[in-house]
Amino acid sequence: MNKKDKIELIKSYFNEILPNATCELNYTKDYELLIAVVLSAQTTDKKVNELTATLFKKYKSIDDFDNADLKDIENDIKSIGLYKNKALALKDIAYKLRYKFNYKVPSSKEDLLTMKGVGNKVANVILIELFDKEEFPVDTHVFRCSKRLGLASKDDSINKVEEKLRKTFDKKDYKKLHHQFIHFGRYYCKAINPSCKNCRLKEICKDKIKNRFDQ
């Protein structure tokens, strides 16, 4: 199968099984999404949503987060991993949104990256979700599935995977495909016990473990 046919197969299958894939983090304000994405590092979206359901009721504004004691925030988010570092990040984000960015989540990657807890992936998520920028965030699901589907090499770094995905797909499809890759990895092509038997992409899969496709 040539590259063009493989790309069309992937897009067609994703559209068949995941036509409405979207961001699963819950938020009502722009800064809440930024906080939720930072909290989601090495944590499931489900756990983050459970946490922010109460967190955003306690801290109703950027000022509330900025004025809060660091220890209080630590206690409020200690149910998730890396909570001490994430509490520091939330304090820094709130401070900078309040005093540097006039209470608005910035729309430039350069500005986003000045805040603690915001790396390339987090910045890209914010840019596509809030500003419809042509970015292709690579999380653990996108990273794994891209390699399994032969869109990236086994030893490629996250940045290299992002670069290859950008070159492979049309810019207009980045946002939709980003979500479809995440949902595909989260619910179908899981790290452990992926659902391979009925997957229409198994013919191009590079991760063919013995007998997996027969189970």
Specify the pLDDT at position 23.
Answer: 97
Q: What amino acid occupies position 33?
A: L
> What are the mean pLDDT values of the chain's consecutive 10-residue runs (215 residues total)?
92 97 97 98 95 98 98 97 97 98 98 98 98 96 96 96 97 97 96 91 80 50
d(CA 17, CA 33): 26
The listed CATH number (1.10.340.30, 3.30.830.10, 1.20.1250.20, 1.50.10.10) that belongs to domain 30-131: 1.10.340.30
Specify the pLDDT at position 104.
Answer: 98
Angle between helices 174-187 and 140-148 (to 10 degrees): 90
Specify the pLDDT at position 215.
Answer: 47
CATH topology of domain 3-21+136-209: Endonuclease Iii, domain 2 (1.10.1670)
Q: What amino acid occupies position 28?
A: T
Q: Indicate the DSSP class of residue 153.
A: -
Domain ranges of the chain: 3-21+136-209, 30-131
Q: Indicate the DSSP class of residue 214.
A: G
Please confirm, yes or no, whether 197 is among the known catalytic residues. Answer: no
Specify the pLDDT at position 1.
Answer: 81
d(CA 82, CA 153): 30
d(CA 49, CA 39): 10
Catalytic residue, chosen from 86, 91, 96, 121, is 121
- What pTM, to 2 d.p., does this model score? 0.92
DSSP element (H, E) containing 38: helix 30-39
d(CA 207, CA 211): 12
Please confirm, yes or no, whether 160 is among the known catalytic residues. Answer: no
Catalytic residue, chosen from 91, 96, 139, 175, is 139
